[in-house]
Amino acid sequence: MEAQSTKSEPAPAAPPVGSVEPSVTLPHEKLAWAQARAERAGTTVSPVVTDAVRQARQAEAWEEFRDWALQGQPPISDEERAAVEAEWQAEGAP
């Protein structure tokens, strides 16, 4: 009779509240990169994708701000800047 291991695999982490599990198609090389990055971080591909989306949103916001500012708009106030930074922090931005 084979000895049964007493070790149990940890249960997979539940997705964060408000999360969905979409199906995403990636080219093989991009998936391999995301999997390698996740492995180095000791996590799954989901946080890697979430971080990539967050960074893309932030880059897009900067582009919109730059375009707005180049149209001769007055600079934003300290309060407006603080509100933007607070929103980014709430989204997990560095």
The predicted structure's pLDDT at residue 85? 85
User: Does a structural domain hold residue 65?
Assistant: yes
Query: Is residue 17 domain-resident?
Result: no
The tally of domains found in the chain comes to: 1
3-state secondary structure the chain: CCCCCCCCCCCCCCCCCCCCCCCCCCCHHHHHHHHHHHHHHCCCHHHHHHHHHHHHHHHHHHHHHHHHHHCCCCCCCHHHHHHHHHHHHHCCCC
Q: Is residue 89 in a domain?
A: yes
Domain that holds residue 55: 46-94
In a domain, 35, yes or no: no
Q: What is the pTM of this model?
A: 0.60
Task: Quick: pLDDT tens for 26-55.
Answer: 999 999 999 999 999 999 999 999 999 999
